[in-house]
């Protein structure tokens, strides 16, 4: 192929400051030329050297008449500089934050409130076709609502992007749209309850980071249910991978979860006197970031909004006070100090005030709690030992306990929100909204960023498969001449993380070693992947870090703390003390720990739960109770994300709604699986098992897609499924 670029053509050249700069060609390019004669827009002439190896020419600029198009697919040239320039022109010249790219809506976060989300705007978009109006989140929501009603197909909106891109706000606007246009099927104001779940979840699951003052530190998927007349009848929320470490540690200029600062700001209220709270700078768990206040945010006022939302969702005042009591207890627990006796043991000062307050709030015995904060029980085949622990281990155990209490409280609140949103009539269809944490890279990246970025790799893979595959199928269906695009596949990066001998596999193995350490794990990573995997690198100046080339960016991860965070060990005796509490709500948080796993978790053996149907677990054998507290976080991340991908596939391809699963799957089928699993070491649960084939017909709703066209991603590991 011979290229010819003529005089007066405009091209884009890389620039270290502006990323891309536009330049005019002054002299015709002929094959074999090593430089281009260019003139920048500001009038400066330069010679642009072509890469001698690739001889790749710079990308061409679009004609001025196309710049500012509201759909990127209308551009003559669709490459990185063209996309960025078009978005920049729309945003800076016209204050337009939304642009289409085919079926995808691209949104730029303006970091200010814009007057484009009122009820009049909602009414303007209601009933309109997606291409007839300016790009908007309401247009996407209307398209989902319309397709659900017209085609009788469940819909899903996936909101993705880097941290601080505005995902949570976009998800809230989509939910508000559905609540406004659909109305409620009853006088119970269900749509108000659905929207009221937002301030509650933000208070307990969002925090200030260096990238975002209201960053979601968990992922959530909300299914909004509709009746046959497409009015809202309820909702159900699933949450993923809460960032528990934030409860006990915050980086500089970051905060803990909003709810802690709302509590401290409301400490003077009469009903909060018994919580013995004070300024956020008094508590270890809220002062580490050195940034307890967010500009323009009144935490005391936000607390009022949180409490009003709880009331609207039917969480009584007594339960609310119970929640605040536990949260205050966590803050006081963080102030508990330890003194070393020697290198292997420690003690808590007598009548230590923070521990006294914690025990009073939790309704547990001071002496018992003090003992188990400084000791642990070791069981062998024949004997049980009580062993003192060092000051460092005691601090880690205290923090692990605080994280565990918070995570259980978080799940308890989610359960109660779901009970309040549960539909009282049969659900006909639903629209799902997935809002998951965005890709992150900071100056110091640890285990949390690794998990978040891994989740985003999986989501990006799902996005690529869905968008490109659907678009190309549409072209083929309409018999339009079309060359199939070989789109970017990030499976190699996913393999690096989750495959056998991958990062997570080596991490779990190191956690099992008696003397396993972050340093030895780092060396195993280097030995296994360095110079063997193009996506893995070692920093020049460090033997305790590694670099992964993600789809979005290169990220350097510090190995320090990976093992401890992955183990996430909670000492069973501490939990037993809390379970013996006279305070009614506290034991309630821990009573479900031996139940069947939820859709957001998986068993250590790697099998994936088949449905959300609760199957009563068998009685736990002696020594089994502690397993829940010892499952590694990394292993849960891997399996959770695999299952969430399959859930998305199910939503998009219209399988049977989950709430109809119980009535559609025969009890005999469940019994068959239970018999198969009865002799296993873990409790029998409803699982898909690769070792056995069950000849079962699933009476699912008819799908508009032929079975042959449904592609099951290889990353789900479901190769054993065969079509019959």
Determine the 3-state secondary structure of 151 from DSSP.
helix
Q: What is the dihedral of CA 222, 227, 233, 234, to 10 degrees?
A: -30
Query: How far apart, in whole angstroms, are the C-alpha atoms of residue 615 and residue 142?
Result: 38
DSSP letter (8 states) at residue 231 = -
582 phi and psi angles, rounded to 5 deg: -80, -10
Active site residue 168: yes
Stretch (H or E) spanning 430 = strand 429-435
**Is the dihedral angle over the CA atoms 309, 311, 314, 320 positive or is it negative?**
positive
Catalytic-labelled residue, pool 440, 457, 510, 572: 440
Active site residue 163: yes
Angle 567-569-573 from CA coordinates, rounded to 5°: 165
Whether 280 has a binding-site annotation, put simply, is no
DSSP letter (8 states) at residue 550 = -
Query: How far apart, in whole angstroms, are the C-alpha atoms of residue 525 and residue 507?
Result: 9
Long-range contacts of 146-154 (CB under 8 A, 24+ apart): 148/226, 148/230, 148/429, 148/430, 148/431, 149/230, 151/704, 152/429, 153/429, 153/654, 153/704, 154/429, 154/430, 154/431, 154/432, 154/651, 154/654, 154/657
Catalytic-labelled residue, pool 86, 163, 182, 581: 163
Whether 166 has a binding-site annotation, put simply, is yes
Stretch (H or E) spanning 655 = none
* The pair of three-digit structure tokens given for residue 326, joined into one six-digit string: 């536990």
What residues contact 624, with CB distance under 8 A and at least 6 apart?
683
Instruction: Give me the helices (H) in 570-620, please.
Output: 572-579, 585-590
Whether 205 has a binding-site annotation, put simply, is no
Catalytic-labelled residue, pool 225, 438, 502, 634: 438
232 strand-pairing partners: 184, 226
Angle separating helix axes 299-312 and 317-334, nearest 10 degrees? 140
Stretch (H or E) spanning 664 = helix 661-664
Of 108, 63, 112, nearest in space to 90 by CA: 108
Catalytic-labelled residue, pool 212, 266, 445, 569: 212
DSSP letter (8 states) at residue 382 = S
* The pair of three-digit structure tokens given for residue 689, joined into one six-digit string: 């098992």
DSSP codes of every residue in 246-278? GGT---TT--SBHHHHHHHHTTTSGGGGGGT--
Active site residue 438: yes
Of 403, 195, 209, nearest in space to 308 by CA: 195
Q: What is the dihedral of CA 609, 613, 619, 621, to 10 degrees?
A: 10
Beta strands in 489-603 (DSSP E): 536-537, 545-549, 554-558
Query: How far apart, in whole angstroms, are the C-alpha atoms of residue 718 and residue 26?
Result: 57
What residues contact 184, with CB distance under 8 A and at least 6 apart?
190, 191, 192, 231, 232, 233
Instruction: Give me the helices (H) in 288-343, please.
Output: 299-312, 317-334
Query: How far apart, in whole angstroms, are the C-alpha atoms of residue 536 and residue 503?
Result: 10
Catalytic-labelled residue, pool 99, 168, 198, 266: 168
687 strand-pairing partners: 609
What's the distance, Cα to Cα, between the start and end of the chain in Å? 48
Whether 606 has a binding-site annotation, put simply, is no
Whether 161 has a binding-site annotation, put simply, is yes
Active site residue 380: no
Catalytic-labelled residue, pool 156, 182, 197, 215: 215
Instruction: Map tokens 């495959």 to a residue.
Output: 499
Instruction: Map tokens 């809390």 to a residue.
Output: 578
Of 552, 554, 560, 520, nearest in space to 534 by CA: 554
Whether 289 has a binding-site annotation, put simply, is no
Whether 163 has a binding-site annotation, put simply, is yes
491, 461 in Cβ contact below 8 A?
A: yes
Of 216, 225, 178, nearest in space to 198 by CA: 216
Catalytic-labelled residue, pool 68, 164, 561, 717: 164
Q: What distances in angstroms separate CA 227 from CA 222, 425, 648, 704, one per listed residue?
A: 16, 8, 22, 21
Binding residues for ATP: 161-168
Binding residues: 161-168
Q: Which residues are catalytic?
A: 163-164, 168, 212, 215-216, 438, 440
């Amino acid at each position: 192929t011979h290229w010819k670029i003529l005089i007066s053509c405009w091209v884009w050249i890389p620039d270290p400051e502006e990323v891309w700069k536009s330049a005019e060609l002054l002299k015709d390019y002929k094959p074999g030329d090593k430089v281009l004669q260019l003139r920048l827009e500001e009038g400066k002439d330069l010679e642009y050297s072509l890469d001698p190896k690739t001889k790749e020419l710079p990308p061409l600029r679009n004609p001025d008449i196309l710049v500012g198009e509201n759909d990127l697919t209308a551009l003559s040239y669709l490459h990185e500089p063209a996309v960025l320039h078009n978005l920049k022109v729309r945003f800076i010249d016209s204050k337009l934050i939304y642009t289409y790219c085919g079926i995808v809506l691209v949104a730029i976060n303006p970091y200010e409130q814009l007057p484009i989300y009122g009820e009049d705007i909602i009414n303007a978009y209601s009933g309109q076709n997606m291409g007839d109006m300016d790009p908007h989140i309401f247009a996407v929501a209307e398209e989902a609502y319309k397709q659900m009603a017209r085609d009788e197909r469940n819909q899903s909106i996936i909101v993705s992007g880097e941290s601080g891109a505005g995902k949570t706000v976009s998800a809230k606007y989509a939910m508000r749209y559905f609540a406004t246009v659909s109305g409620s099927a009853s006088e119970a104001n269900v749509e108000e309850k659905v929207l009221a779940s937002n301030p509650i979840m933000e208070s307990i699951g969002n925090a200030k980071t260096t990238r975002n003052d209201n960053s979601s530190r968990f992922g959530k998927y909300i299914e909004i249910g509709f009746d046959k007349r497409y009015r809202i009848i309820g909702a159900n929320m699933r949450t993923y991978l809460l960032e528990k470490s934030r409860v006990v540690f915050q980086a500089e200029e970051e905060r803990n979860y909003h709810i802690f600062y709302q509590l401290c700001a409301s400490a003077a209220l009469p009903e909060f006197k018994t919580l013995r709270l004070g300024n956020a700078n008094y508590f270890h768990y809220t002062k580490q970031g050195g940034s307890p206040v967010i500009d323009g945010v009144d935490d005391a006022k936000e607390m009022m909004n949180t409490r009003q939302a709880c009331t609207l969702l039917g969480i009584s005042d007594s339960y609310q006070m119970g929640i605040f009591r536990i949260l205050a207890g966590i803050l006081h627990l963080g102030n508990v100090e330890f003194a070393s006796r020697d290198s292997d043991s420690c003690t808590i000062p007598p009548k230590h005030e923070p521990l006294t307050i914690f025990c009073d709030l939790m309704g547990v015995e001071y002496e018992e709690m003090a003992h188990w904060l400084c000791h642990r029980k070791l069981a062998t085949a024949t004997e049980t030992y009580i062993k003192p622990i060092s000051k460092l281990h005691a601090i880690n155990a205290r923090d692990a306990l605080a994280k565990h209490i918070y995570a259980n409280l978080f799940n308890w609140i989610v359960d109660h929100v779901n009970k309040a949103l549960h539909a009282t009539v049969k659900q006909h269809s639903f629209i799902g909204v997935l809002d998951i944490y965005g890709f992150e890279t900071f100056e110091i990246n640890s285990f949390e960023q690794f998990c978040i970025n891994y989740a985003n790799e999986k989501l990006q893979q799902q996005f690529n498969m869905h968008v490109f595959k659907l678009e190309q199928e549409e072209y083929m269906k309409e018999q339009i001449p079309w060359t199939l695009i070989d789109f970017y596949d990030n499976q190699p990066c996913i393999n690096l993380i989750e495959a056998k001998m991958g990062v997570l596999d080596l991490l779990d193995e190191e956690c099992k070693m008696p003397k396993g350490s972050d340093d030895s794990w780092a060396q195993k990573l280097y030995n296994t992947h360095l110079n063997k995997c193009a996506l893995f690198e070692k920093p020049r100046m460090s033997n305790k870090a590694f670099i992964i080339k993600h789809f979005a960016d290169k990220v350097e991860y510090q190995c320090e703390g990976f093992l401890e965070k992955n183990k996430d060990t909670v000492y069973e005796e501490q939990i037993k003390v809390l379970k013996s509490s006279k305070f009614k709500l506290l034991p309630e948080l821990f009573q479900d720990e031996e139940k069947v796993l939820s859709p957001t978790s998986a068993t250590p053996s790697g099998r994936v739960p088949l449905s959300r149907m609760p199957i009563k677990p068998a009685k736990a054998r002696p020594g089994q109770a502690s397993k829940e507290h010892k499952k590694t976080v990394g292993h849960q991340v891997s399996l959770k994300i695999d299952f969430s991908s399959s859930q998305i596939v199910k939503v998009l391809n219209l399988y049977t709604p989950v709430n109809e699963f119980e009535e559609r799957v025969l009890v005999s089928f469940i019994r068959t699986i239970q018999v198969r699993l009865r002799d296993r070491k873990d409790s029998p649960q409803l699982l898909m098992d690769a070792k056995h084939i069950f000849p079962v017909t699933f009476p699912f709703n008819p799908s508009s897609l032929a079975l042959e066209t449904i592609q099951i991603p290889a990353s789900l590991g479901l190769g054993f499924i065969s079509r019959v």
